[in-house]
């Protein structure tokens, strides 16, 4: 009995020990489970906090619908439907802009006492006295402006007699003109981001100048402009040089660096011809390349600019030059009146001025090229967009030669076939229809004699007037560059109605 009792006591002790062991293991397992659960919940909450704000931003699309474009007078009723279809609801992509405004730009205009009285009439077309800052630099005193004159201040350039000049074909005035930016900087004007140089016969579209410069960080060094249209001129001077007649822009930090070294730099290049090649030589010493913007135009050509203005690059028009050299941009007008007429279109949609659109009247077999705010050309036959986007050679190169190899871009010949002579319609008026939020531009056919054509197809001579509807697109250059698309409305009258606007999804210029 005693042995059995001792054995039972031992068994009870073993059982109690096992029970305590199991309880401890269960407690440990429970603690581990609760710890894992708390960590998991904390991670999920933390992740949700990070993700929810971004999700909220992405889920707030702009669903506002634009109103239909309606017709005027005899415009077909379905024109309203197409206009909405043609203006897709595209979100402007995020882009790094620097909010540069006109007030941040100072102009330095190179002129002379002998030319200023004549050339200032061009400057009146684009200068805004209450919005813009700048100085006209001349070599001698000129007659003072009238009190109500809408022109910038005129100053006399500093003495340049200490600088050597040895080029036999050029003029010493190049030294004076090359220092325009430095002398303008020394005036100590406040809140300046950019200095823009031009000649007294340079015409700026200032809204587009601001759009171009707003792309660049004015706190960095930039030398912005373009080369000549003449291949020969670029070879003689430099493809890396901004031509001063077309205008160029220098950021404030670069202007400061240039001013510090320019006088020393000028003494090292006595044999150069002009002012802009001297500036480019100093830029080379500073290590600054040219930042090209195709909207600056030197226009080293002679004759009719129709070919160039009707097939402008897909880029904002910034400047025109050599107004005294080329023909008036509208036939039958003086140069000044033609510029004034041109700027009436600029006022309504500066971003889209002379931007090209191409479409086809397939029933009549016509090719139509629109240069908005300037001219519309209607041509018999189907000509591909690849050809139409090339300027036709309505002009001669700087040396007055009809040499297609003399240009720094592709051109196409003016057709000699009597049936393919373009029917040209120049803009006669532009107005803004507030109720329909669109511009209405009217183009009238040029009254010239057209050759006889034997082709069996309708003649564009049956059209007297072209009406183009377009919504202003001030933000078009915030998007990737693309030609506008256009649509032809059916018409039985002598007026052709077109609509121009941003291309829709899948819309192309199809032959």
Look at residue 97 in the predicted model and tell me its pLDDT. 73
Please give the pLDDT value at position 86. Answer: 46
- pTM of the predicted model over 0.85: no
104-123 tens-digit pLDDT:
999 999 999 999 999 999 99
Among the four given CATH numbers 3.90.550.50, 2.70.130.10, 3.40.50.970, 1.10.357.10, the one describing domain 79-94+349-501:
2.70.130.10
In this prediction, residue 40 carries a pLDDT of 66
CB 322 within 8 A of CB 304: no
Residues 6 or more apart in contact with residue 195 via CB below 8 angstroms: 105, 106, 107, 108, 181, 184, 185, 249, 250, 252, 255
* Predicted local confidence at residue 502, as pLDDT: 94
Alpha carbons 269 and 316: distance in angstroms, whole number: 34
- The C-alpha atoms of residue 439 and residue 83 are separated, in whole angstroms, by 12
Q: How far is Cα 446 from Cα 426, in angstroms, rounded to an integer?
A: 7
Let me know: does 245 contact 198? Beta carbons within 8 Å.
yes
Give the per-residue pLDDT at 61. Answer: 37
Q: Could you give the CA distance from residue 199 to residue 110 in angstroms, rounded to a whole number?
A: 5
> Which pLDDT value is given to residue 2?
45
pLDDT in the model for residue 150: 84
Domain ranges across the chain: 79-94+349-501, 102-298
CATH topology of domain 102-298: Spore Coat Polysaccharide Biosynthesis Protein SpsA; Chain A (3.90.550)
Phi and psi angles of residue 436, each rounded to the nearest 5 degrees, phi first: -110, 0
Residue 143: per-residue pLDDT = 85
- Could you say which residues of the chain have pLDDT below 70? 1-37, 39-96, 145, 147-148
């Amino acid at each position: 009995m005693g042995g059995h009792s001792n054995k039972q006591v031992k068994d009870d002790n073993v059982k109690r020990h096992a029970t305590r062991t199991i309880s401890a293991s269960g407690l440990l397992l429970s603690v581990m489970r609760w710890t894992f659960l708390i960590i998991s919940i904390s991670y999920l909450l933390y992740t949700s906090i990070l993700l929810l704000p971004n999700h909220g931003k992405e889920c707030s699309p702009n669903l506002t619908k634009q109103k239909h474009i309606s017709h005027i007078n005899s415009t077909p009723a379905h024109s309203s439907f197409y206009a909405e279809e043609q203006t897709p609801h595209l979100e402007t992509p995020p882009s790094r802009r620097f909010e540069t405004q006109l007030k941040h730009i100072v102009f330095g205009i190179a002129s002379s006492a002998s030319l200023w009285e004549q050339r200032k009439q061009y400057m009146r077309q684009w200068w805004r006295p209450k919005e813009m800052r700048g100085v006209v630099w001349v070599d001698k005193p000129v007659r003072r402006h009238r009190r109500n004159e809408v022109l910038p201040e005129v100053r006399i350039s500093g003495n340049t007699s200490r600088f050597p000049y040895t080029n036999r074909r050029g003029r010493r005035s190049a030294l004076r003109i090359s220092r325009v930016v430095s002398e303008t900087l020394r005036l100590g004007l406040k809140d300046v981001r950019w200095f823009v140089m031009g000649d007294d016969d340079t015409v700026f579209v200032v809204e587009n100048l601001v759009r171009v410069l707003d792309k660049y960080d004015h706190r960095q060094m930039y030398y912005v402009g373009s080369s000549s249209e003449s291949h020969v001129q670029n070879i003689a001077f430099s493809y890396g040089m901004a031509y001063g007649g077309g205008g160029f822009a220098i950021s404030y930090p670069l202007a400061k660096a240039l001013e510090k070294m320019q006088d020393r730099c000028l003494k090292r290049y006595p044999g150069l011809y002009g002012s802009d090649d001297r500036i480019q030589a100093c830029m080379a010493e500073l290590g600054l390349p040219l930042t090209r913007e195709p909207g600056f135009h030197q226009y080293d050509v002679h004759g009719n600019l129709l070919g160039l203005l009707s097939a402008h690059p897909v880029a904002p028009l910034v400047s025109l030059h050599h107004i005294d050299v080329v023909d008036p941009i509208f036939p039958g007008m003086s140069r000044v009146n033609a510029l004034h007429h041109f700027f009436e279109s600029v006022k309504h949609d500066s971003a889209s001025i002379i931007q090209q659109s191409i479409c086809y009247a397939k029933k009549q077999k016509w090719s139509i090229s629109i240069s908005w705010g300037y001219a519309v050309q209607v041509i018999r036959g189907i000509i591909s967009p690849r050809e139409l986007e090339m300027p036709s050679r309505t002009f001669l190169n700087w040396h007055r030669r009809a040499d297609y190899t003399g240009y720094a871009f592709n051109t196409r010949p003016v057709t000699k076939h009597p049936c393919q002579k373009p029917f040209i319609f120049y803009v006669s008026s532009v107005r803004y229809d507030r109720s329909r939020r669109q511009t209405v531009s009217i183009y009238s056919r040029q009254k010239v004699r057209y050759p006889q054509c034997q082709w069996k197809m309708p003649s564009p001579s049956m059209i007297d007037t072209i009406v183009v509807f377009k919504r202003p697109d001030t933000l078009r250059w915030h998007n990737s560059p693309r030609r506008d698309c256009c649509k032809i409305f059916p018409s039985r009258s002598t007026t052709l109605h077109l609509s121009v606007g941003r291309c829709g999804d899948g819309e192309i210029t199809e032959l």
